A = this chain, B = another copy of it.
Amino acid sequence: MDKQYLLAPGPTPIPPEVLLTMAGPIVHHRAPVYERKLEEVREGLKYLFQTKKEVLIFASSGTGAMEGAVTNTLCAGDKAIVVEGGKFGERWANICKAYGVKAQVLPVEWGRSIDPALIDQALKEDRSIKAVFTQATETSTGVVYPIKEIAEIVTRYPGTLIVVDAISHLGAVELPMDAWKLDIVVAGSQKALMLPPGLAFAALSDKAWDFVEKSTLPKFYFDFKKELKNLTQNQSAYTPAVSLIMGLAESLKKIKEEGLENIFARHARLAKATREAMLALGLKLYAPQAHSNAVTAVVAPPGVDGQKVVKILRDKHHLTIAGGQDQAKGKIFRIAHLGYVDKFDIIMAVAAVEMTLKELGYVGEMGKGVRAAMEVLIDGK
C-alpha cells in the first residue's frame, strides 16, 4: 500500500471532480460549448482576482506570464526595481536581464520581509524607474510581503507600475487587485486554483495597459494585447490547453461556492495550526514574522538535514512536502497549506513530520505537534 499525499507548494492536490472533468472527451476550442465555458471562466477569474479587468490566460507555466509582464510593458534599457528575497525574486531579475531591462535589486535576507520605505526611497531617488517587480508570497521562504503598503507607495508615482507575482498566493491569501491598485497580477494554475500546472494568468490595470501601448520589447506567444483581443471574443490567439480550461471552470465554481473570504480564513487557520504545531515541537520558523498563509518554512533542528526530512517523509510516509532551495537547501523544509487542503491534511502532515523527526533522533514527546494543531483547528470549519 502506498497511498500518496501531496502538501508541496505546487503542484497541489486536485479535487476528484476537477480531475474527472478534465478526463472528459476533448472539446474543440472553436466550438460554442467551449466558448460558453470560457465566458464562465472569465467571470470566475475576475472574482478570484477581485478585478473588473479581463484576466489573460496562457497555456504555460507561471513563469511565462511573468516574462509577459516584463516584455509587454517595458522597453530595452528601461529601469526597474526587483524585490529579491528568494528564488522567485531572482526570477524577476533574470527575466529583466534577458530582455535588457536594468533591474535594481533590493536584496532582502531570505526569510525576512521588505521594508516598503526602501522602495519609496529608491523611487524618489530615480523617477525614471518604470516598474517594481515583487512577489506576494515568496514561495522559497514562506514570507508574505506587504503588497498593500508597497502599492500605496508605487501608486504615488505615475510613471511606475507595481507588478506582483502572486503565483503561490492568489486564492489563498487576500490580494484584491483593484482595491489595492495593483498594476499587474500574475498567477498559475497549480497552486490555490487546485489544477495541474499548465495555465498562467495575468491581469492588468488601465495604467499597465497604457504601458503596453508604449512597450517595444519583442514578444509573440506571450503578447498580451493580442490575447486580450481574442479573450473578449471567448477565444485565444493560439490553441488553448482545452482540458485545463474545462478543469478551471470547475475549480472556479468551487472557489465561488466556498467564497473568497472563507477560503482566506481557511488558509489562515491551516497556516496557524501548522506554525503552532512546529513551535510546539521546539522547531523554529524560517521567517521570524510575515508568515505567508500559503506555505510554512520550518528550520530543520540542529544536526538534522532538511533534505533528509523531506526524503523520509516522501519515501517512507508517502507524503510530499518541499525542501529548501539554493541557500536554504538542507536548512529548511516547507509544508504547504495551499488549495485543496483541509484540517486533516494538516494533522496528517504534522504527524508525519513528528514521526520523521523521531526517527532522525530529534527526541521529543510524540503527539505534541498534532495536539497544538488540533487546538487551533477545533474551532474552525
Contacts and interface: CB of A to CB of B under 8 A. Distances in A.
Given A19-B24, A60-B59, A221-B67, A11 B242 contact: yes
A110 interface: no
A242 B94 CA distance: 24
A25 B18 CA distance: 11
Contact of A221 (B11, B31, B60, B314): B60
A4 B40 CA distance: 22
B62 A238 contact: yes
Contacts of A239: 10-11, 61-63, 188, 190, 197
Given A218-B100, A222-B221, A238 B25 contact: no
A5 to B, nearest CB: 9
Contact of A242 (B59, B196, B217, B221): B196
Interface string A207-226: 00000000001111111000
A20 interface: yes
Contacts of A61: 59, 221, 238-241
| Chain A residues touching B, majority SS | loop
B24 A63 contact: no
Q: How many copies does the complex hold?
A: 2
A244 B198 contact: yes
Contacts of A99: 218, 220
A243 interface: yes
Interface in A89-113: 94-95, 98-100
A327 B292 CA distance: 53
A4 B25 contact: yes
Interface of A: 4, 6, 8, 10-14, 19-20, 22-31, 58-64, 67, 94-95, 98-100, 188, 190, 196-198, 217-223, 237-244, 314, 320, 322
